[in-house]
Amino acid sequence: LSLLYRAVQSSTEQYRAVQSSTEQSVFKTKIVSTTRDPVACFAGINIFPHQSIFDLQNTDIIYFSPVAKLSDEILDHKNQEIMTWVRKMYQQGATVCASGSGSLILAEMGLLDGLEATTHWTYVDIYRRRYPQVILCENRTLVQTGEGQKLVTTSGAWQDLVLYLIARYAGTEAAIQIAKIFLIQWNLDNLELSFASFQDNLQNSDALIQTAQKWLAQNFHQPNVVSAAVHVSGLTSRTFNRRFKQATGFTPIAYTQNLRIEQAKIHLEITDKPIDAIGAAVGYEDSSFFRLLFQRVTGLTPSAYRRKFKGSVANNVT
DNA sequence: AATCTTACCCGCCAAG
DNA sequence: CCCTTGGCGGGTAAGA
């Protein structure tokens, strides 16, 4: 939700609307519980709620994190006060989200009766048994349902949910941007993120183009990527171009340039490599062209960008 | 900054 | 009839 907050803030259009409608910033992330006493989490971590639910009369988005080792016993002894409060918020128009086993809490509340939902694969059995009235779509990574699509469950990955919410509140472009940044960061850190996992949920129904995007994400360094991508896809170039733009909103080359520049940004932020070398690393032999493009996309020259942002990524990753 | 090559985009239109 | 595809041709801008 903090990421969402950031995305909304940096989405100028949305931000202006927000500022004019209320004086204070609308999005505030709060951890709430029945009391402000620390909540014992798994791995011995304590969570300190910012506020009690009894002091919070309305909210826009509620998120249930997964509950470790969720069992019948835990569900039977659920906290009625929280359930009542969430139901009330939902009736007032709040969006209620949950990922992984958190989805069972929504089902337990009865919010999902007769509606679709998804959950982590380890909870499919218990889900089916306890909530036959919920239409469980365990193969989907994200399911929106309910009136106004205000009930959102995801199978496990929090990033799916975050990207979905960002797309919804700050626009698809903001989500794509965040997704790209994180994809590359996670790649750098050797962490696995399926590029497709978010594209699935960003109303991109074109599987072939998704594959192409995945391929591009790994091969954008090479020259003439677009024609190569066309070849790999097996489509005609005319059809490929058309469908790519239809599905992503970008032309293939513009999309590739974004990938390259995002990658270059990361390099500038976390390394001391010379700018020419970075340009070459992301696929630009001609450094002057690289500088031009970088300037155009980011509004800053590479060196200015480095001066401004060096170190910031490290902070955020923590 | 100027120049050159060609990769890429897209409107148009016929065909499946 | 509607929708998608694919070839053509030419203009634009990507990139050396």
Task: Report pLDDT digits (tens) over A107-134.
Answer: 999 999 988 888 988 888 899 999 988 8
> A280-308 in b/e burial notation, b at 16+ Cβ within 10 A?
bebbbeebeebbebbeebbebebeebbee
One-letter amino acid of A143: V
pLDDT for position A318: 29
- Asked if A261 and A297 count as a contact pair (C-beta separation under 8 A), the reply is yes
CA–CA distances in Å: residue A98 to residues A85, A101, A108, A109, A157:
16, 8, 12, 12, 10
- pLDDT surpassing 60 at residue A19: no
One-letter amino acid of A173: E
Containing H/E element for A74?
helix A72-76
Give yes or no for CB of A236 within 7 Å of strand C: yes
- A224 CA to C7 C1' distance (Å): 21
- A309 CA to C6 C1' distance (Å): 46
- How many C-alpha atoms does A207 have within 13 Å on its Cβ side? 0
Other Cβ atoms closer than 10 A to A31? 14
User: What is the pLDDT confidence band of residue A88, given thresholds at 50, 70 and 90?
Assistant: very high
Query: Token pair for residue A101?
Result: 């086993």
Closest protein residue to B6 using CA and C1' atoms? A224
* Rounded Cα–Cα distance for residues A182 and A177 (Å): 9
pLDDT for position A2: 64
E strands, chain A, in order = 32-33, 39-40, 46-47, 51-52, 61-64, 95-99, 116-117, 135-136, 142-145, 151-154
Nearest-nucleotide field for A227 (CA, C1'): B7
- A31 CA to C3 C1' distance (Å): 49
| Strand B: positions under 7 A of a protein C-beta atom | 1-2, 7-12
- pLDDT surpassing 50 at residue A260: yes
Give yes or no for CB of A231 within 7 Å of strand C: no
| Strand C: positions under 7 A of a protein C-beta atom | 4-8, 14-16
* Rounded Cα–Cα distance for residues A206 and A208 (Å): 6
* Rounded Cα–Cα distance for residues A154 and A172 (Å): 18
Tens-digit pLDDT profile for residues A136-146: 877 677 777 88
Give yes or no for CB of A207 within 7 Å of strand B: no
Other Cβ atoms closer than 10 A to A26? 16
- Asked if A61 and A94 count as a contact pair (C-beta separation under 8 A), the reply is yes
Concatenated DSSP letters for A161-179?
A: HHHHHHHHHH-HHHHHHHH
- pLDDT surpassing 80 at residue A157: no
* Rounded Cα–Cα distance for residues A40 and A112 (Å): 28
SS3 assignment, position A142:
strand
Cα-based angle A196, A157, A49 (whole degrees, multiple of 5): 150
- A240 CA to C11 C1' distance (Å): 20
Tens-digit pLDDT profile for residues A29-52: 788 989 899 888 777 788 888 889
- pLDDT surpassing 70 at residue A57: yes
Tens-digit pLDDT profile for residues A217-244: 888 999 999 999 999 999 999 999 999 9
pLDDT for position A179: 65
- A235 CA to C2 C1' distance (Å): 22
Give yes or no for CB of A222 within 7 Å of strand B: no
- Asked if A134 and A115 count as a contact pair (C-beta separation under 8 A), the reply is yes
pLDDT for position A175: 65
- Among A129-143, A153-167, A247-261, the minimum mean pLDDT is found in A153-167
Give mean pLDDT, residues A88-102: 92
Nearest-nucleotide field for A223 (CA, C1'): C15
Tens-digit pLDDT profile for residues A293-317: 999 888 889 998 888 766 544 333 3
